[in-house]
Structure 1
Amino acid sequence: MQTTATSPAVVEEVRSLLDELSDCWNRADGAGYARLFTSDAAYVQFNGVMLDGREEIADMHDLMFRTMLYGTRLLCEEIESVRVIDEHTAVVVSTGAALFPWQHEVTAKRLSRQTLILVREGGRWMIASFQNSRVKPFPTSGPLFAVASKAVRLRVDRALRSRQAR
């Protein structure tokens, strides 16, 4: 884990917050999950849908816990970094996954990375912003990369020639 001038106590507070997040998820408690966010929090789901505020976060999670995420459990795997901006603000990057009951470990297809902006309110960290993205490494070598790179270059060159011809 990378930390920037972050005390072990702050890292422990962040771990505790992520554990609370998991506990609420694992109980399918959308309202409890949302209470860990500020009232005006911005929440970007892995599919790019944005939720605005604690109420939308609670409503969406209640719906999802009854439907598409029914029976899942949230694993907050690793805190990758904690960067304290000032005494009231921190940026956290973590990895984790929502697993269905038949899944016993986090696979590459299920792994997500989250960026959280935390603010200190009432003596505790609250989540003011949450961005969740699936981890899908982009290849940077090999035959598939070479073919894809060539295809992109051909399309870009064609588009640029077309613009110049106008």
Structure 2
Amino acid sequence: MDQSVEAMNAIPARMCEAWGRGDAAGFYADFADDAELVEFEGTVIKGRETLIAAQQPIFDTVMKGSQLVRGEVRFARIIAPGAGVVHHRAGILLPGESAPLPTRYVMQLFAVVWQNERWQVTALQNARVVSLESAMALDSMAAAG
């Protein structure tokens, strides 16, 4: 298999394709068995099978027919032999929309390791892209609440 940066770059594209199919197993196909995901709000989910089990009902209901679009790898680097990082940005497009709302963009940081003759995601952190103004408005609502 290919240990290049380009091979790491391909992981988010495969995830976007699987999202479009509503395929949680495909979405997490490049994840290590013991991978961890940190969601926007800080929830940590451990293990590829647990990730699949948590994601499939979301694809089957609230995200049914949605797409992960405008995927762009901002950078990918091999940081040590057998270890790399990938920084990816994408937007969530719901059925009937022509472009994602600004509040539905995510930035993802992948930690990948070379094991079992391929790059595998060992950790992924999702971060929502939010303007400073939006963050301050959310803080104001929380303080009032």
Q: Alignment identity in percent?
A: 27
> What TM-score do you get using the length of structure 1 for normalisation?
0.72
Which position in structure 2 is the counterpart of 1:162? none
Contact 1:46 1:132 in 2 (8 A): yes
Matching residue within 10, 19, 27 for 1:16: 10
> 1:83 offset after TM fit, Å?
2.3
- Deviation for aligned residue 1:11: 3.5
**Which runs of 5 or more structure 2 residues have no equivalent in the other structure?**
141-145
Q: Deviations over 1:15-72 (max 9, x none)?
A: 3211111111111111222221100111112232221110111001111011121111
Q: Which has the larger radius of gyration?
A: 1
Q: Distance in 2 between matches of 1:24 and 1:40?
A: 20
- Equivalent position SS for 2:89: strand
Q: Deviations over 1:129-152 (max 9, x none)?
A: 01101111325xxxx8xxx9xxxx
Distance 2:62 2:16 in 1: 17
Deviation at 1:111, TM superposition (A): 1.0
Relative contact order, higher structure (CA 8 A, sep 6+): 2
Normalised by the size of structure 2, how large is the TM-score? 0.82
- Equivalent pair of 2:94/2:100 in contact (CA under 8 Å): no
1:105-120 equivalence runs, <5 A: 105-120=99-114
**Which segments of 5 or more consecutive residues in structure 1 lack a partner in the other structure?**
1-8, 149-166
- Answering whether residue 58 of structure 2 is matched by residue 64 of structure 1, we say yes
2:131 alignment counterpart: 137
Q: Which amino acid aligns with 1:100?
A: L
Task: Please give the secondary structure, in 1, of the residue aligned with 2:104.
Answer: coil
SS at match of 1:93: strand
Other-structure match for 2:117: 123
Q: Which of 21, 25, 36 matches 2:19?
A: 25
Task: Give RMSD over aligned pairs.
Answer: 2.2
